[in-house]
Amino acid sequence: MSDPSNIRVERGEVTVVAFDRPKKKNALTEAMYTDFADALAVAAADDSVHVVLVTGTAGCFTAGNDLADFLQHPPAGEDSPVFRVLRALATFPKPLVAAVDGIAIGLGTTLLLHCDLVYCSDRARFQMPFVNLGLTPEGGSSYLLPLLVGHARAAEWLLLGDAFSAEEALRGGLVNAVVPADALDALARERCAALAKKAPAAVRAAKELLRGPQRAALSAAMSREGAEFVRRLSSPEAIAAFTRFLAPR
């Protein structure tokens, strides 16, 4: 396990999995990915868990990959911790809810495509800057995002890689509601509690009916994305982008 302050888990009928590395903007290390994947696996297998809430810390969901750690531990295949997380999210059988406050970069945005309900604060900022780093989309975003928000908006968000606001996310259908930051946690937990009171087998069956028809196409898209992402990591474009990003300022 990584430092317990990096991934915080509150176990219960509503299990909370929180990114908790605020001094580094909750940037995700290999150890955090491992703990995140493990937490999802435990919650999926535990019949007493009805809902999982994914959140961060005040003012920050996650800045995405810790790039220095990422370069030391690049994903080499589908058994890599980051790909374990993505597969766990894509196949999670119970309701996934997200509460996003502040920045949600990279996987911080793409993981939301696998959540069933997403709530964010009015100061949330989303970004999928893969091309800015010489990389390509991940997490099934090349498949799920156009389905959710339409091709035009998906192309804008993925090809330009610019940040977008909570209101833009709401208009696009990426999130269910935007609320003031001080109301976010209460709203997300109230919605989770409402889900947890429902008949759990019926809720899981309903989720499968919603998600099941996409399963094969999503799995194939994620395999294509993963292979291309790994290839791109050693490209001159990616090496130059990482060098610029990590250069002393």
Give residue 104's pLDDT: 98
Give the closest residue to 54 by CA, choosing from 70, 69, 79, 35: 35
Residues 166-223 pLDDT 10s: 999 999 999 999 999 999 999 999 999 999 999 999 999 999 999 999 999 999 999 9
Give residue 249's pLDDT: 74
Options 3.30.1490.20, 3.90.226.10, 1.10.287.130, 3.40.640.10; which CATH number does 7-181 get?
3.90.226.10
Q: Name the token pair of 236.
A: 């001159």
Give residue 1's pLDDT: 43
Do you know the residue count of the chain?
A: 249
Give residue 30's pLDDT: 94
User: What gap in Å lies between CA 192 and CA 180, rounded to an integer?
Assistant: 18
Domain range summary for the chain, segments of one domain joined by +: 7-181
Give residue 132's pLDDT: 95
Is 21 within 8 Å of 5 (Cβ atoms)? Answer: yes
Q: Name the token pair of 97.
A: 């809810």
User: What gap in Å lies between CA 94 and CA 104, rounded to an integer?
Assistant: 23
Please state the separation of Cα 227 from the chain's center in Å.
Answer: 19
Give residue 2's pLDDT: 42
One digit per residue, pLDDT tens: the chain, 249 residues?
444 559 999 999 999 999 999 999 999 999 999 999 999 999 999 999 999 999 999 999 999 999 989 888 888 777 899 999 999 999 999 999 999 999 999 999 999 999 999 999 999 999 999 999 999 999 999 999 999 999 999 999 999 999 999 999 999 999 999 999 999 999 999 999 999 999 999 999 999 999 999 999 999 999 999 999 999 999 999 999 988 988 887
The pTM is what? 0.95
Using alpha carbons only, give the angle 150, 155, 157 rounded to the nearest 5 degrees. Answer: 100
